[in-house]
């Protein structure tokens, strides 16, 4: 295989505090890879400005002018991490033999980038970056993450444990990805569906270099729900089973209350009061789950564009 054109795709939302360091480290890395014959000199870092409100785009533009290894695209709105990534990957697809997506905050260890490309040269179309340990996370985040992966496994969804969006994809894999038109994007679930030959590279995830996480708890939970509901309809079936179970309990309970009433003169208002709350809660829960799917269908049916590129600096 000839030396590949490698694109690093980096989504950025309000990242002016980390960008100079990220550009510096990635430039060093890319130079080293070009010298080592792992990357063609046409390789680039492609920064995607996801509608930032700070000086991120101005900064990216300046780097584009000063550093020939830097390119940038500016999205017209903030479309979220996954859509920004997609915009970058689909742009990279036109120029690159393979693209590696990574975060702007240097949490993904740039030292292992060579290993991704080596796996690609060995014939892999997808290379997943997998975290060695999660000791930079809080106990709470570790627990919820584990719960998420377990739940996905129970639902039969194929996701790679402890893999976020640090991954290499070949042009062939990117072509395959471009055929998935879904609006509710969850790349971690989609990429394994492509099914080409894949490999894993393990790495230590660092602390965010500077700035704040753009994934506070609320957004993280929403992302997890998105992941689950975009890849499995089992929650709907679970509601059905729960309905059957609760109806059975209701049936038996009613019979029992009737007997107790006539045999022992029992006043059942307390039982009736709490069953009302229980049933009300379950019904609302069920409606919530169905509603979540309905909302997804709504978005998919409208099929609005997932991102709009306003500017492209090559
Ligand atoms: N990001 C983005 N759009 C958003 C939110 C985040 O492009 O609406 C980018 C962000 O700049 C970063 C990456 O997605 O490069 C991951 O975000 P972050 O580091 O805040 O998430 P965390 O690592 O804390 O989960
Ligand atoms: Mg981060």
CATH number at residue 17: 3.90.550.10
* Nearest alpha-carbon partner for 199 in 163, 172, 231, 227: 163
Interval between CA 105 and ligand 2 midpoint (Å): 5
- Asked if residue 257 and residue 181 are part of one domain, the reply reads no
* Nearest alpha-carbon partner for 190 in 155, 166, 159, 236: 159
Tell me, yes or no, whether 290 lies in a domain: yes
Tell me, yes or no, whether 144 lies in a domain: yes
Tell me, yes or no, whether 179 lies in a domain: yes
Average pLDDT estimate for 58-75: 97
| 131-151 burial: b if 16+ Cβ within 10 Å, else e | beeeeeeeeeeeebbeebbeb
- Asked if residue 158 and residue 295 are part of one domain, the reply reads no
Q: What is the best residue among 11, 22, 49, 52 to mutate for testing ligand 1's pocket, by most ligand atoms within 8 Å of CB?
A: 11
Q: Which of 14-23, 46-55, 222-231 is least confident?
A: 222-231
State the virtual CA torsion across 121, 126, 132, 134 in degrees, nearest 10.
150
Tell me, yes or no, whether 224 lies in a domain: no
- Report the alpha-carbon distance of residue 71 to residue 292 in Å, rounded: 38
55 Cα distance to chain centroid: 25
- Report the alpha-carbon distance of residue 235 to residue 81 in Å, rounded: 26
Domain that holds residue 277: 234-302
Q: Check pocket membership of 15 for ligand 1, CB cut-off 6 A.
A: yes
Q: Measured from the CA of 15, which atom of ligand 1 is nearest?
A: 11
% the chain with pLDDT above 70: 98
Q: Check pocket membership of 79 for ligand 1, CB cut-off 6 A.
A: no
Structure tokens at 73: 């695209």
Of all protein residues, whose CA lies closest to atom 11 belonging to ligand 1?
A: 12
Closest ligand relative to 208 C-alpha: 2
Interval between CA 214 and ligand 2 midpoint (Å): 7
Q: Measured from the CA of 220, which atom of ligand 1 is nearest?
A: 25
Q: Check pocket membership of 16 for ligand 1, CB cut-off 6 A.
A: no
Q: Check pocket membership of 11 for ligand 1, CB cut-off 6 A.
A: yes
- Asked if residue 177 and residue 249 are part of one domain, the reply reads no
DSSP code, position 4: P
Is residue 266 predicted with pLDDT exceeding 80?
Answer: no
The predicted pLDDT at position 268 comes to 67
Interval between CA 103 and ligand 2 midpoint (Å): 6
Tell me, yes or no, whether 18 lies in a domain: yes
- Asked if residue 86 and residue 48 are part of one domain, the reply reads yes
* Nearest alpha-carbon partner for 33 in 3, 10, 11, 9: 3
Half-sphere exposure in the Cβ direction for 52 (13 Å, CA): 22
Q: What is the best residue among 51, 53, 75, 81 to mutate for testing ligand 1's pocket, by most ligand atoms within 8 Å of CB?
A: 81
Element (H, E) at 9: strand 6-12
- Asked if residue 263 and residue 190 are part of one domain, the reply reads no
- Asked if residue 240 and residue 207 are part of one domain, the reply reads no
Q: What is the best residue among 104, 214, 223 to mutate for testing ligand 1's pocket, by most ligand atoms within 8 Å of CB?
A: 214
Distances (CA, A) of 165 to 128, 140, 277: 8, 21, 42
- Asked if residue 285 and residue 146 are part of one domain, the reply reads no
Closest ligand relative to 164 C-alpha: 1
- Asked if residue 83 and residue 13 are part of one domain, the reply reads yes
Domain count, the chain: 2
ipTM of this predicted complex?
0.97
Q: Which of 7-21, 88-102, 121-135 is least confident?
A: 121-135
Please state the pTM of the whole predicted model. 0.88
Tell me, yes or no, whether 219 lies in a domain: no
Summarize pLDDT for 181-207 with one digit per residue, the tens. Answer: 999 999 999 999 999 999 999 999 888
- Asked if residue 67 and residue 102 are part of one domain, the reply reads yes
- Asked if residue 167 and residue 132 are part of one domain, the reply reads yes
- Asked if residue 165 and residue 84 are part of one domain, the reply reads yes
Tell me, yes or no, whether 222 lies in a domain: no
Tell me, yes or no, whether 55 lies in a domain: yes
- Asked if residue 27 and residue 115 are part of one domain, the reply reads yes
User: What pLDDT band is residue 155 in, cutting at 50, 70 and 90?
Assistant: confident
């Amino acid at each position: 295989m000839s030396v590949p054109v490698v694109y690093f795709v980096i989504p950025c939302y309000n990242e002016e505090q980390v960008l100079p360091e990220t550009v510096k480290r990635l430039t060093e890395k890319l130079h080293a890879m070009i010298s080592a014959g792992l990357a063609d000199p046409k390789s680039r870092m492609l920064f995607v400005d996801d509608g930032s409100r700070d000086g991120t785009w101005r900064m990216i533009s300046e780097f584009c002018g000063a550093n020939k290894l830097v390119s940038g695209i500016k999205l017209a709105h903030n479309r979220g991490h996954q859509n920004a990534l997609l915009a970058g990957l689909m742009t990279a697809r036109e120029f690159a033999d393979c693209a590696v997506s990574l975060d702007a905050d240097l949490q993904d260890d740039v030292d292992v980038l060579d290993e991704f490309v080596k796996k690609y040269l060995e014939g892999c179309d997808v290379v997943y970056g997998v975290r060695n340990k999660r000791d930079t996370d809080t106990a709470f985040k570790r627990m919820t993450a584990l719960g998420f992966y377990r739940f996905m496994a129970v639902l039969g969804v194929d996701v790679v444990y402890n893999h976020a969006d640090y991954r290499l994809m070949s042009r062939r894999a990117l072509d395959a990805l471009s055929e998935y038109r879904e609006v509710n994007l969850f790349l971690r679930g989609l990429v394994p569906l492509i099914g080409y030959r894949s490999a894993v590279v393990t790495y230590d995830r660092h602390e965010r270099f500077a700035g704040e996480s753009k994934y506070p708890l609320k957004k993280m939970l929403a992302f997890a729900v998105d992941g689950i509901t975009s890849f499995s309809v089992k929650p709907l079936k679970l509601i059905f089973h729960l309905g059957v179970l609760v109806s059975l309990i209701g049936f038996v309970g009613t019979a029992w209350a009737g007997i107790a009433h006539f045999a022992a003169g029992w006043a059942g208002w307390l039982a009736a009061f709490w069953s009302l709350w229980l049933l009300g809660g379950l019904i609302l829960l069920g409606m919530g789950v169905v509603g979540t799917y309905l909302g997804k269908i709504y978005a998919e049916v409208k099929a609005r564009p997932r991102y709009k590129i306003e500017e492209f600096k090559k």
